[in-house]
Amino acid sequence: MSETTSRFVVSADWVEKKIGTDGFKVVDASWYLPAHKRDAKAEYAAGHVPGAVFFDQDAIADHSTGLPHSLPSPELFASEVGKLGISDTDTIVVYDGLGFFSAPRVWWMLRTMGAQDVYVLDGGLDGWKADGRAVESGTPTPAAAVFKAKFRSDKVIPFETMRAIVDDGSAQIADARGAGRFTGDEAEPRAGMRSGHMPGARSLPATSLSANGRFKDIATLKTMIADAGIDLSKPVVTSCGSGVTAAVIMLALQSVGHDDNALYDGSWSEWGSRDDTPVVTGSAEPVKA
């Protein structure tokens, strides 16, 4: 870690030295879209970072919303994460296979629920394996721990608040989906959803914020955020398809020192599937001077 890189991103060398030390936990937060043609659970069982536990984003969720992997209640989150052997006072490193796809979602969840020392592994599991580092197989059962949740509701945007933000422009909206889905030129992967974006939203694809599994440096992140038409002196709400990759933008914003941000948990799965929400197609509106 240095002044040129995110304070929330850690190297494989650093993680390798910390494995097995008291209060240090590693979390495999891999989750994939059907297009990836990867099975996160099977890959975890076949080989994961030594000592890592598997965080199932579809299981540790609020299933009452009808939306994919919604943020669970603090009580449920604390119970399930405690079963994984993780305490809110631990130093926690989260990773996924690709590097910066689904891991930032669990990084955001842990921090939103009160954990302080939470990081993302640069390069992900794919990079770890490519370096020839040790992995272990199987599905171990960790000793339970106590996770005391301290929920930060200011980091989560519900639908009614999102609707008000779109209506009054009280916060900027950063959309992490690919450009084609943002403009409406590409269909949504989930059936029954309109294509396009929320009025006033800016396109900042999550996949653009890393390269070859490595998170981009601070200067580059600042430039990309500015080029997307996002003013770092103003509040930002992030969104994506289902609330997963919106957290990649959260990671980028907080990495460059922007703290007035929150994630719209329902994201396009909620907004795009309703018939009472405004949807815009085409490129984002020009930035106002």
Alpha-carbon distance of 63 to 51, in angstroms, equals 29
Alpha carbons within 13 angstroms on the beta-carbon side of residue 91 total: 13
Q: How many CB atoms lie within 10 A of CB 5?
A: 18
Q: Radius of gyration over alpha carbons of the chain, in Å?
A: 18
Q: Which residues are catalytic?
A: 240
